[in-house]
Chain A
Amino acid sequence: MVEKALFAIFMEGVFIKNFLLIQFLGLCSFVGVTKDFKSAAGMSGAVIFVMAMAATASYIVYNYILVPAGMEFLDLISFIVVIAALVQLVEFVVRKNVPALYRSLGIYLPLITTNCAVLGVVLLNVLSEYGFVQSVVFGISAGIGYTIVMLMMASIRERSTFVNIPSSIRGLPQAFFISTMLSMAFVNYFWVIPI
């Protein structure tokens, strides 16, 4: 376990190691679900939950099953199993309790399984040798960072549909322009400031 303040880990997860705009993980949902604010918010909520749960579960699996058996090389495949199961669990819960959200998320809910951002959180936890609390904090903060960027992107895209621009740029190219500028802002403001 490394000595690192929880606040530093939190800031790192939200801004400095932001999964979408600095590490460029989980970009498929970043472009796919940000067409309107509501489904972006729903997706973000699901991702925060899955990331926190995945960080917790994978810490237990890694440190209490894989490390004592000396099977650390199995981390990737067992994390995928854990995350897939968790997403399935979330899907059950959402379907039962919030059917409207379930319908609006559509294919993107099962796609969290293959969302590399979730696996990224878990693998970075192992790589940085975080303890249990640190892992969970990093998981939650990564989810919050994801949420912030998703909501920013969704609000900008919602408003920019009314902008008078050439039709060749409309839609996806426009989304790429916006994400480029957002990413530059994040890199410039947070990457250069050491905590």
Chain B
Amino acid sequence: MTEISSFLVQSMAILGGLGLAVGIMLIVASRKFKVETNPLVEEIIEVLPGGNCGACGFAGCADFAERVVNDDAPINGCPVGGFDVAKEIGGILGQEVTGEGEARYPFVRCNGGLNCVNRFEYDGIEDCKAVMMLSDGEKGCNYGCMGRGTCVRACPFDAISIGEDGLPHVNKNLCTSCGLCIAACPNDILVFAKESEKVHVRCVSHDKGKAVKEVCTVGCIGCKLCEKNCPEGAIKVTDFLAVIDQDKCTGCGICVEVCPQNTIEMR
């Protein structure tokens, strides 16, 4: 009996001693390698969205928070959080935030998709950049959307999908306006558009009217009908492409009606 109990005590002493030694070593190490953190950083991490998407240009939300505190990044640097988060960060740091608070979402500036003629059959890597490398893509139009989903894969929030029309569609409930899809698109099809901007030209082709008509049924042919009919003078056709000045546009919709190609769209 005593033998067993002494055996028990001995093994407990060894394990306990080992644990104690290791614990003391860890305490010493944690003191020595202590990382000084600013309490403000923790507070800012709390208000950030926490998606770690990297759209701000830094390695995740924690890194952004640290840089904001050190003045290496602007207060409104988080495109996902937008104005609201910028205001909260400003409150923590005691700085005023000015700027617009309206939400912006990526807008697809091409309505080609299946309306656009293919020049050849592409059977390679499913990626817009790869398609573009093969004589500017399979589409007849060199400016348009390739529809191979580079933006879909760039989106960390699964907010974009390629629809049945062969064009990307943005799900506004999931979109955080981080802008990674806009950066990823090799043809600059996607741009930020505010919700209040109702009228948009869904084409980016600078080709002449005839060339556009040959390959696409919905492309801008540069006929200038919209420019002539706009009561506000908000539309200007340059290089065979209509461009709407959103500051002047009132959303009357006359251009949408006169456009022979149905290129201009009202949301």
Question: A-side interface residues toward B, CB under 8 Å?
Answer: 61, 65-66, 69, 71, 74, 77-78, 81-82, 85, 88-89, 92-93, 95-96, 99-100, 103-104, 162, 164
A165 CB, nearest partner CB in chain B, Å:
11
B11 touches A89 (CB 8 A): no
The answer to whether B126 touches A164, judged by C-beta atoms less than 8 angstroms apart, is yes
> Is B125 an interface residue, CB under 8 A from the partner?
yes
Partner of B29, one of A89, A99, A164: A89
Q: Is the interface of A mostly helix, strand, loop or mixed?
A: helix
Q: How many angstroms from the CA of A85 to the CA of B26 in the assembled complex?
A: 7
Q: Which B13-58 residues have a C-beta within 8 angstroms of A? A: 14-15, 18-19, 22, 25-26, 29-30, 32-35
Residues of chain A within 8 A (CB-CB) of B19 are: 81
B62 touches A74 (CB 8 A): no
Rounded to whole angstroms, the CA-CA distance of A77 and B22 in the bound complex is: 13
**What residues of B have a CB within 8 angstroms of the CB of A104 in the complex?**
59
> Is B60 on the interface with A (CB-CB < 8 A)?
yes
Contact B59 A78 (CB under 8 A): no
CA distance A100 to B54 in the complex (A): 14
**Assembly CA distance A89 to B23 (angstroms):** 11
Do A71 and B18 contact each other (CB < 8 Å), given the known contacts A92-B30, A93-B33, A103-B59? no
Cα of A167 to Cα of B15 in the assembled complex, Å: 51
**Cβ-defined contact, A71 with B22, below 8 A:** no
Would A65 and B33 count as touching, CB distance under 8 A? no
Is B63's beta carbon under 8 Å from chain A? yes
Residues B14 and A66 in contact, CB atoms below 8 Å apart: yes
B10 within 8 A of A: yes
Task: Check B62–A85 contact: CB distance below 8 A.
Answer: no
Complex: A103 Cα to B33 Cα, angstroms: 16
With CB as the reference atom, state the residue of chain B lying closest to A86: B22
Which residues from A are CB-within-8-Å of B130?
A: 162
Residue of A nearest to B123 (CB): A164
Decide: B33 and A85 in contact? CB cutoff 8 A.
Answer: no
| CB <8 Å contact, A82 and B22 | yes
Say yes or no: A95 contacts B15, CB within 8 Å: no
Give the distance in Å from the alpha carbon of A73 to the alpha carbon of B15 in the complex. 12
The distance in angstroms between the C-alpha atoms of A152 and B115, with both chains bound, is 44
